[in-house]
Amino acid sequence: MDAVAGLAENPYPQGKNIFKRLTPPLKLTQYTAQYRLRIGDYRVLYDVDETEKIVWVFVLRKRGEDTYR
């Protein structure tokens, strides 16, 4: 998916309902997802480490009841 690879260049993409900061952040095992990227019916849950310049992609899920659990 080009959109996921594009997070390396721009971790905060612009566009209507594409990028969203999660409030509250979503706890996934020992990691916390701060952001959500919408790609059609799929959601990418990720975080950005500004100091290390790393985008951590935690999960790519088809949108449904279990997406944000």
Q: Burial level of 66, CB count in 10 A (0-12/13-18/19+)?
A: exposed
> Three-state DSSP class for 4?
helix
Q: pTM of the entire structure?
A: 0.83
6 pLDDT above the threshold of 80: yes
Question: What is the mean pLDDT of the segment spanning 24-50?
Answer: 89
Task: Say how far residue 53 (Cα) sits from the centre of its chain.
Answer: 15
Give pLDDT, residue 23: 87
46 pLDDT above the threshold of 90: yes
1 pLDDT above the threshold of 70: no
Q: Do residues 61 and 42 touch, judged by C-beta distance below 8 A?
A: yes
Query: Domain map of the chain by residue range?
Result: 2-62
CA–CA gap between residue 32 and residue 52 (Å, rounded): 17
69 pLDDT above the threshold of 70: no
